[in-house]
Structure 1
Amino acid sequence: MTILVTGADGYLGWPTSLRIASRTDDRVVLVDNFGRREWVSEVGSVSATPVADIETRLEAAEEVHGLTNLSFVEGDLTDRSFVDELLQVHEPETIVHTAAQPSAPYSQINGERANFTQHNNMQSTRNLAWGFHENDLADTHLIETTTTGVYGAPEFPIPEGGATMENQGDRDDVPFPAMAGSWYHLTKSHDAANLRLANKQFGIPVSDVRTAITYGAATEETAADDRLATRFDFDYYFGVVAHRFAAQAIAGYPITVYGKGEQRKPFVSLEDAVEGLARLALNDPDDRPDDHVVYNQVTRPISIVEMGTTIAEVATKFGFDTEVEHFENPRDEDETHQMEIDNDRYMDLIGDQQVTFEEGIRGVFERLADRADRIGAYEDRFLPGVLEDRLDDDSAEAPPAADD
């Protein structure tokens, strides 16, 4: 049996690959085109934790964890011929599809990046779905990380997937309406719709894992050796809000909460996210769903201001003096929205939550406390507008280079 992991060089894909490989003797094939490294470099930033090249990572995985069942293929999933060859050579029974341009702010910079994001993300997923169909692999289990962002911010509890619609006395279950708030999030709304169609037309079993804002700097596997570290982005474009706040504290900046910050967002730890994907990938083929199944990959919603306060308190324990400051909100959003989201199916999959938000943030400071100089060199990347300024001024000076 072969399991493919796309986006396997990324923040979520790399630790997921290690977790899967550590629990099976089957071949685990990693696929990536190193796009995330290029995009972060383009916005003038770096990962706070240096990221080893893929050859070094694979060598360390074998040396530290004894993983001899990992291999790597470099390629672009938007290329139909590459995808067809990949599927024909490896004939996977399972694909964990984490590959994407994952940044909403990046997709909002200008039309060029909006177009790129939509083409890159949707073309990749369509190529996989049609590749299964046209290469007689319709039984391959496709596990894709979409996003809870496809739901938007409705004023009612969010179901785990679909919704019930009533019109003139008739009722039916329908897909949840796409209310995404960025050009990136809309790619995942389209992916969800396309995968639902692929399941209906081709019979492909699909697990649509709607990933929440993910926090944490390491998993059990990646923490074992610096060569195995996953990336940790902290800039405005690619650093999720929790990571950006932690980096601000380390660099000696206040934690910047936009507006009131009372809105609740869905969160999940890196450990809990990896565990769910690994369990889905390693399900016995006889136990796999033959339908399109949605999982809300979230452990609990947290308000932005609660998150900032928690990070400030943890930072103090590590010797970093910071405080929460409120700034004018550059986003058009309800600053008091109280999200409620069902997650029973996902929690049944992983069991109990493994890492709370506070525990995850403590782990972030344990790994990044000695990275203050590296983070400080890119401190102007905490806030929006820097990339736009660089695009307008070709002579803009970049910060010191740092090896990934």
Structure 2
Amino acid sequence: MTILITGGDGYVGWPAALRIADRTDERVLLVDNFARRGWVEDVGATSATPVASIDERLDAAREVHGLTNLSFVEGDLAEKSFVDELLAVHEPEVVVHTAAQPSAPYSQINGERANYTQHNNLQATRNLLWGLEEHDLTDTHFVETTTTGVYGAPEFPIPEGGSTMENQGERDEVPFPNMGGSWYHATKGFDAQNMRLAHTQFDIPISDVRTAIVYGTETEETRADDRLKTRFDFDYYFGTVTHRFCAQAVAGYPVTVYGKGEQRKPFISLEDAVEGLAEVALTDPDERPEGLTVYNQVTRAISIVEIAETIADVGSEYDLDVAVEHFENPRDEDETHKMEIENDRYADLIGGQSQSFEDGVDDIFGTLTRYADTIEAHEDRFLPGVLSED
């Protein structure tokens, strides 16, 4: 049996591969084209944590954790010929698809990057889904990390996947509409629709794991050796709000909250995200839900101002004097929106949240204070700026 993990060099993909490989004796094959490293360099930024080469990572996985079942192949999933060869040679029984251009701000820079994001993300998913059909692999369990961002910010509790629609006295369960607010988020809405089509037309078992904003620097496996660390982006384009705020604190800058900052967003720790993907990937076929299953991969909703205040509190334990400052909000958004999102199916999968937000922030500071020089050298990347010309 082979478990294929796309985006295996990425922030979530790499630690998920370690967790999955540690839980099974089956072969775990990573695939990546290292594009994420190039995108971050494109905006003049870098990972705060040094990112080892894939060969160094695999060596460390073998030496530290005894993971002899991990291997890697380099290639571009947007190229159909590569995907066809990949599936024909390795015939995976599970595909965990974490590969994508994941940044909404990057997709919004200009038309070129919007086009690239949509071509890259949609083409890769279509190639994999059609490849499973064309290579007689329709029993393969296809797992993709989409995003809770496809839901937008409705005023009612967000369901775990579908919703009930009523018209002229008749009711039916329908997929939640794609309400993503960026060219990136739109790709994940289209992916969700394409996965639904692949299930309907090809009978491929699908798990659509709608991932919230992930925060954290470590998992159980990555702590053991610096060569196993995953990346940590803190710039405007690829650094999520918690990561940017923590990096600002380490560099001696105030944490900047736009407007009231009372709007809540869905979050999940890296540890809990990795655990969920491992559970979905390794569940026995006879025990997993049939058909197409949507998981809201989220453990709690947190307001932006709560994030800032928590970072200030935890930062004091690292002798960081963190100020929280409010600025006029340049975005057109409800600064008091109280998001509610259902996650019963996902919570049951992982047995509930294993790491609190406070502990996750403590983890981040424990790592970032080691690499303060790197953050300070790139502190101009906290805000959008001129892209590199290389």
Q: TM-score range by the shorter chain?
A: over 0.9
How much has 1:331 moved relative to structure 2? 2.2
Residue pair 2:42, 2:387 contacting (<8 A) in 1 also: no
The question of 1:267 aligning with 2:267 is answered yes
How much has 1:352 moved relative to structure 2? 2.2
Structure 2 CA distance for aligned equivalents of residues 370 and 202 of structure 1? 49
Corresponding residue of 2:127? 127
Query: 3-state SS of the aligned residue for 2:321?
Result: coil
Corresponding residue of 1:169? 169
Corresponding residue of 1:343? 343
Q: Deviations over 1:245-283 (max 9, x none)?
A: 000000000001111111000000000000000011111
Structure 1 CA distance for aligned equivalents of residues 40 and 258 of structure 2? 23
How much has 1:285 moved relative to structure 2? 2.0
Corresponding residue of 1:368? 368
Structure 1 vs Structure 2 CA RMSD: 1.0
Residue pair 1:203, 1:290 contacting (<8 A) in 2 also: no
Structure 1 CA distance for aligned equivalents of residues 176 and 374 of structure 2? 42
Corresponding residue of 1:206? 206
Structure 1 CA distance for aligned equivalents of residues 319 and 225 of structure 2? 25
Corresponding residue of 1:295? 295
Structure 2 CA distance for aligned equivalents of residues 306 and 390 of structure 1? 32
The question of 1:10 aligning with 2:10 is answered yes
For residues 40-119 of structure 1, the aligned pairs below 5 Å read 40-119=40-119
How much has 1:287 moved relative to structure 2? 1.9
Task: State the AA in 1 paired with 2:12.
Answer: L
Residue pair 2:48, 2:231 contacting (<8 A) in 1 also: yes
The question of 1:221 aligning with 2:221 is answered yes
Question: Which segments of 5 or more consecutive residues in structure 2 lack a partner in the other structure?
Answer: none
Q: Deviations over 1:277-316 (max 9, x none)?
A: 0011111122233311100000010000001100111111
Runs of 4+ in 1 over 6 A off after TM superposition: none
Residue pair 2:299, 2:352 contacting (<8 A) in 1 also: no
How much has 1:322 moved relative to structure 2? 1.3
Residue pair 2:146, 2:211 contacting (<8 A) in 1 also: yes
Structure 2 CA distance for aligned equivalents of residues 329 and 123 of structure 1? 35
Q: Deviations over 1:336-395 (max 9, x none)?
A: 1100000000000000211110000000111111211110000010012x0xx346xx6x
How much has 1:328 moved relative to structure 2? 2.2
Residue pair 1:180, 1:189 contacting (<8 A) in 2 also: yes
Task: State the AA in 2 paired with 1:378.
Answer: H
Structure 2 CA distance for aligned equivalents of residues 372 and 276 of structure 1? 31
Structure 1 CA distance for aligned equivalents of residues 333 and 198 of structure 2? 33
How much has 1:333 moved relative to structure 2? 1.5
Q: Deviations over 1:18-53 (max 9, x none)?
A: 000001110000000001000000000100000000
Query: 3-state SS of the aligned residue for 1:72?
Result: strand
Count of matched residue pairs:
390
Task: State the AA in 2 paired with 1:334.
Answer: D
Q: Deviations over 1:173-228 (max 9, x none)?
A: 10001111100001000000010010000000000000000111010101100000
Residue pair 1:3, 1:29 contacting (<8 A) in 2 also: yes
Query: 3-state SS of the aligned residue for 1:285?
Result: coil
Query: 3-state SS of the aligned residue for 1:193?
Result: helix
Corresponding residue of 1:312? 312
Structure 2 CA distance for aligned equivalents of residues 71 and 291 of structure 1? 29
The question of 1:144 aligning with 2:144 is answered yes
Residue pair 1:100, 1:120 contacting (<8 A) in 2 also: yes
Structure 2 CA distance for aligned equivalents of residues 104 and 120 of structure 1? 14
What's the TM-score once normalised by structure 1's chain length?
Answer: 0.95
How much has 1:326 moved relative to structure 2? 1.1
Structure 1 CA distance for aligned equivalents of residues 191 and 125 of structure 2? 7
Structure 2 CA distance for aligned equivalents of residues 90 and 285 of structure 1? 19
Task: State the AA in 2 paired with 1:380.
Answer: D
Structure 1 CA distance for aligned equivalents of residues 331 and 142 of structure 2? 34
Query: 3-state SS of the aligned residue for 1:83?
Result: helix
Structure 2 CA distance for aligned equivalents of residues 124 and 330 of structure 1? 34
Structure 1 CA distance for aligned equivalents of residues 124 and 271 of structure 2? 26
Corresponding residue of 1:401? none
Structure 2 CA distance for aligned equivalents of residues 140 and 327 of structure 1? 49
Structure 2 CA distance for aligned equivalents of residues 46 and 93 of structure 1? 35
Q: Deviations over 1:143-189 (max 9, x none)?
A: 00000000000010000000000011111110001111100001000
Residue pair 2:8, 2:14 contacting (<8 A) in 1 also: yes
Q: Deviations over 1:118-153 (max 9, x none)?
A: 010011000000000000000100000000000000
Query: 3-state SS of the aligned residue for 1:179?
Result: coil
Structure 1 CA distance for aligned equivalents of residues 73 and 24 of structure 2? 20
Residue pair 1:314, 1:361 contacting (<8 A) in 2 also: yes
Task: State the AA in 1 paired with 2:167.
Answer: N
Task: State the AA in 2 paired with 1:191.
Answer: D
Q: Deviations over 1:60-95 (max 9, x none)?
A: 000000000000000000000100100011100001
Question: Which segments of 5 or more consecutive residues in structure 1 lack a partner in the other structure?
Answer: 399-404
Task: State the AA in 2 paired with 1:274.
Answer: V
Query: 3-state SS of the aligned residue for 2:286?
Result: helix
